[in-house]
Amino acid sequence: MLVPSRVPVRSGESSTMTTDENIFSGLRVLDIASFIAGPAATTILSDYGADVIKVEPPGIGDPQRLFHMAPPNPTSEVNYAWELENRNKRAISLDLKSPDAPEILRRLVRWADVLVTNYPPKVRHALGLSYEAVAPLNPRLIYADVTGYGAAGPEADKPGFDITAFWARTGLMDAVHDADSAPTLLVPGMGDHATATALYASIVTALYVRERTGLGGHATTSLIAQGVWAGGSWVEGALHGARFYSQHDRKAPPSAVVNPYRTRDGRWILPCVLQPKDWPGFVAAIDQPELLQDPRFADVPARVTNSAALAGILDDLFAAETLAHWREKLDAARVIFSVVQTMEEVVSDPQMLANEVLLPLAEPNGRATHTVNSPVQVVGFTKVRPRRAPRLGEHTDAILAELGFSEAEAAALRESHTVEAHQA
């Protein structure tokens, strides 16, 4: 049962939530963003009932509509990434460069509680989409933007993807690869999704301020800020002049008991014996009691000094048995570890399903019966059942009518190619 709560409302409307509403029911969100970080933030809002209008240019629309065709992404007839980032939304196809676009944009801004964009600052100013341009149109508007490298400095207008701004620029790419290998790529969208959660948090914080003051404001974050935050423990170490280990070498790691090992059947397993008190239990689980008597491994400093020798022992040991054997042994001894799972295993993982990390769709989409849930959870509130993402311009006519344009005016806008309506 929903607990009564205050939600952002307009003057004269009730602020008490009923059992038929969700946390963001009645919240109107304008998504003028492309690819992943901005749209994913509005998806989190939509999961709790917000009405999100996705604005895309005519033609191909948001370039993410081609995600499933771009290597190294998995190929599929269904644009799975588009479905994930844009579920539950309505769509209007609008050419913001058209001379007739400003009036549509003005009405959309007045309609909205939240506007999200990821256009670079110069582009926003050129399109009349900057905070300074739109804020006077709607004093309660929360204007939220996400950039690659932040809104200030010489690179404010520099284009950035998560692979460049979040991954490479922030030191993460350098930190995670082994000493004998080249830097590796991240899963596309990995940094974007983290940044989307930060942008969502910024938006909700600004909505809280609006609840207290009645006024909107400007919420912002960047891929580079989120990347530094993700690696913040080590970045903070650099700020304090800490002495860093050399890049991870699996054969001679800083810690042999926090190191991946390959099993007899070719799988990888990662023990995580972080605390000194865990060492005896780990040794017992792997049936190597003699390690407790070996002076090379007597304590943490000794195990660090002799990590290459210990890693060699563990390499041979884990390689002698199957993953199933080691899973049973380590689980029985309550040793902290994880199997390095494939994506195919993740989507059938019972723990993911039990906790709705994978959320059932409102209706099957191709072969899929579930989608990836957003990580924000509020106990006592059920997210909306995920609906499919919109086709390009699917709701153009309905949105124009909602904004007060007559059928003749909508027809003229289509004729001038200012807007595009989806053709079934």
Three-class SS state of 362: strand
Sign of CA pseudo-dihedral 414, 415, 416, 417: positive
Bridge partners, 114 (sequence order): 29, 142
pLDDT at 9: 45
pLDDT at 423: 62
pLDDT at 365: 86
pLDDT at 317: 98
pLDDT at 424: 53
In whole angstroms, what is the distance from residue 33 CA to residue 47 CA?
18
Which tokens go with 142? 């929360």
pLDDT at 77: 87
Three-class SS state of 18: coil
Choices 3.40.50.970, 3.40.50.300, 1.10.10.10, 3.40.50.10540: CATH for 28-231+352-420: 3.40.50.10540
Contact residues for 307 (Cβ-Cβ < 8 A; gap 6+):
252, 253, 254, 255, 256
pLDDT at 5: 36
Q: Rounded to a whole number, what is the distance in angstroms from the first to the last CA of the chain?
A: 39
Is the CB of residue 250 less than 8 Å from the CB of residue 308?
no
pLDDT at 12: 42
Sign of CA pseudo-dihedral 167, 171, 173, 176: negative
Span 89-99, pLDDT tens digits: 999 999 999 99
In whole angstroms, what is the distance from residue 218 CA to residue 205 CA?
10
The reported pTM is: 0.91
Sign of CA pseudo-dihedral 169, 171, 177, 179: positive
Is the CB of residue 28 less than 8 Å from the CB of residue 90?
no
Which tokens go with 257? 């008991």
In whole angstroms, what is the distance from residue 37 CA to residue 227 CA?
13
So what CATH class is 261-339? alpha beta
Indicate the domain borders of the chain: 28-231+352-420, 261-339
Is the CB of residue 118 less than 8 Å from the CB of residue 37?
yes
pLDDT at 4: 31
Bridge partners, 268 (sequence order): 262
pLDDT at 161: 94
The CA angle 99-90-58, to the nearest 5 degrees, is 35
Mean pLDDT by 10 residues, the chain (424 residues): 37 50 96 97 98 96 88 89 96 97 98 97 95 98 97 93 96 92 92 98 98 98 98 97 92 95 98 95 97 96 96 98 98 97 96 95 91 95 94 96 98 96 72
